[in-house]
Amino acid sequence: MMDLTVNGTTHAIDADPDTPLLYVLRDHLGLNAAKFGCGLGQCGACTVMVDDRAVLSCVVPIALLAGRRVTTLEGLGTLDQPAPIQQAFIEEQAAQCGYCIAGMMMRAQALLQATPQASDADIRHALEPHLCRCGTHMRILKAVHRAAALMRAHDPVRGAL
């Protein structure tokens, strides 16, 4: 049994300490956004945030996460009240099958929180660990730029930094 804080709620988790975070999110907590893609840290589909940094949840055993804050796409916004990053992906229609998208969005969220004025080169560099097979890359890039603009509009003080 260990305590794991996900999207602001602390859960008592009954799983072996070597269980990767991804399986706990999906199987124990019933969350959908983080996806199993490779289990090897090669594709980015499982990306979530731990203390505001993008992390590949398929290779992170929960034993490492005591006292840490885990955030998944579900924790950013909802259908009714989408977060800027979600709104941006909808507005740019930045998905085909969409399986890789949740991971991409979490990576972008972590980037834009740390670097509100991220350049196109920064965004491409940050997304390098992520694979998309449908070829939606152009729209994903546009959506991250749009999200950056939305986030700056939401938080003009930080956005001007």
Partner 1 sequence: MAPLPTFSRRVVLQGAGAIMVSFSLRSLPAGAEEAAPSKLPGSLAVDPHLDAWIRIAPDGGVTVFTGKAELGQGIGTALLQIAAEELGVPVERLTLVTADTGRTANEGYTAGSHSIQDSGGAIRNAAAQLRELLITEAARRLGLPSDQLRAERGKVTAPDGQELPYAELAAGVDMHVAARPRSVFRDPGSFTIMNTPMRRIDIPAKVTGGAAYVQDLRLPDMLHARIVRPPSYRAALKSVDLDAADKMAGVVKVFRDGNFLAVVAEREFQAVKAMRTLAASAEWDETAILPAAGRLADAITALPSRDLYILDRHDGTGQAARTLEATFTRPYQSHGSIGPSCAVAQAVDGSLTVWTHTQGVYPDRAAIAEMLHLPLDKVRCIHVPGSGCYGHNGADDAAADAALIAMAMPGRPVRVQWMREQEHAWEPFGPAMVTKVSASLDAAGRIADWRYEVWSNTHSMRPGAAGSLLAAQHKAESFPVPAAKPLPLPEGGGDRNAIPLYVLPNAAVTYHFLPDMPVRISAMRSLGAYMNIFSIESFMDELAGAAGIDPVTFRLNHLDDARARDVIRLAADRFGWADRGKVVAGRGFGFAFARYKNLAAYCAVAMEIESDTGRVRIKRVVSAVDAGQTVNPDGIRNQIEGAILQSASWTLYESVTFDATRITSVDWATYPILRFRDVPDSVEVHIIDRPGQPFLGAGEAGQGPAAAAVANAIADATGLRLRDLPLNAQKLRKQLREGL
Partner 2 sequence: MNRRFTVLRLFACLIVLLGIAIGVVAALAWYSPITPIDRMPADRFDARLIRQGADLAALGDCDTCHTAPNGRSFVGGLPVPTPFGTIYSTNITPDPETGIGRWSEAAFRRALRQGVDREGRQLYPAFPYDHFTRLTDDDVTALYAYLMTRTPVRASAPPNALPFPLNHRFVVAGWKLLFFNPGTYRPDPAHDAAWNRGAYLVEGIGHCGACHTPRNALGAEKSSRFFAGGEAEGWTAFPINAAAASPVPWNADSLYAYLRQGWHGLHGVAEGPMAPVSADLAGASDGDVRSIAAYVASIIGETAPADRPEGRTLAAMTRPFGTGAKPQSAGSQAAAAPAVVGDGAGATIYAGACAGCHESGRPVPYGGTDLSLSTALNGSTPRNLINILFEGIPAADGARAPIMPDFGAVLTDTQLADLARFLRAKFTDKLAWTEIDAAVRQARSRRATAEASTSAAAGNP
- What is the number of residues in the chain? 161
Using DSSP's 3-state secondary structure scheme, residue 32 falls into coil
Q: Identify residues 82-141 at the interface with partner 2 (CB under 8 A).
A: 114-115, 117-119, 121-122, 124-125, 128-129
- The two beta strands, 69-71 and 2-6, are parallel
Give the torsion sign (CA, 102, 107, 109, 110): positive
> And the tokens for 86?
């979600």
Distance of closest approach, residue 14 Cβ to partner 1, in angstroms? 9
The secondary structure of residue 64, as a DSSP letter, is: G
Q: Whose CA is closest to 141, among 105, 98, 100?
A: 105
Residue 78 interacts with, from partner 1, partner 2, none (CB under 5-8 Å by kind): partner 1
Q: Whose CA is closest to 126, among 136, 139, 114?
A: 114
The secondary structure of residue 30, as a DSSP letter, is: -
Select the residue interacting with partner 1 from 4, 6, 13, 15 (CB under 8 A): 15
Q: Is 40 one of the binding residues for partner 1 (CB under 8 A)? A: yes
Residue 73 interacts with, from partner 1, partner 2, none (CB under 5-8 Å by kind): partner 1
* Site track for partner 2 across 14-53, x = CB under 8 A: ---xxxx------------------xxxx-------x--x
| Site residues (vs partner 1, CB under 8 A) | 15-16, 19-20, 23, 26-28, 30-33, 35-40, 42-43, 45, 72-74, 77-80, 82, 86, 89-93, 95-102, 105, 124-125, 127-128, 130-139, 141
